[in-house]
Copies of this chain bind each other. A is one copy, B any other.
Amino acid sequence: MKVLLIGANGQIGKHVVQLLKDSKEHTLRAMVRSEEQAQELKKSGVEAVVANLEGSVAEIAEAMNGCDAVIFSAGSGGKTGPDKTLLVDLDGAVKSVEAAEKAGAKRFVMVSAFQAHDRESWKDSPIKPYMVAKHYADRLLVASELNYTIVRPGGLLNEPGTGQVKAAENLEAGTIPREDVARVVVSALNKENTYKRSFDLISGENSVEEALKSI
């Protein structure tokens, strides 16, 4: 598949770039916000395109032109305020879904947040507004015509991945290295049994392949 990665400069996105660079099954186009980031990627041999999640659906669709799949791993980040949560994590994500429909990129893998589907589990969370944004982005993706997979990782760690994970519709809270999230996202791309599925993801005792088979 030809894959557009949205959020290629993010912490999970950088791992996805590495995995897709080495992939025999997929080719990568990285979407980033600035020309400088694009130049950096191009230097390392990665096709890159500049587009802004705060721009129009048409602009995002143009970046997807010719792609079969989209991975959305962008996030407004902890340093920005809730304004950006609304503009990027919610509206940017849904515009990407609409752009994928427009561009004919039928496969869409979303990096969401742990238990984003269940309001009760984050009703007292200090990041509740962020969870609201992820919740609705996911709901609009589910309502789209795309072959989506929604991956909801637990607490994100920067330590190296182990390749050992646990995936299910509802899990008890846990953590997972960002590198392992990237592995799951990339591995899910062509697994049809993960189409139209959403699941929590933490570190566990299964290989990525086994975990995805069980979904």
Contact = CB atoms under 8 A, between A and B. Distances in A.
A56 B83 CA distance: 24
4 closest residue pairs by CB, A with B: A82-B82, A86-B129, A86-B132, A91-B132
Interface residues of A, number: 24
A159 interface: no
Given A81-B82, A120-B56, A123-B56, A87 B136 contact: no
A113 interface: no
A143 B142 CA distance: 12
A86 B81 CA distance: 12
Contacts of A91: 119, 132, 135-136
A42 interface: no
A17 interface: no
Contact of A90 (B81, B119, B132): B132
Contacts of A90: 90, 132, 136
Total identical chains: 2
Interface string A75-100: 00000011101110011001100000
A191 interface: no
Nearest to A143: B143
A140 interface: yes
A133 interface: yes
A119 B87 CA distance: 11
A100 to B, nearest CB: 16
A80 to B, nearest CB: 11
A89 to B, nearest CB: 10
A123 B57 CA distance: 12
A83 B81 CA distance: 9
A140 B132 CA distance: 13
A60 to B, nearest CB: 12
A128 interface: yes
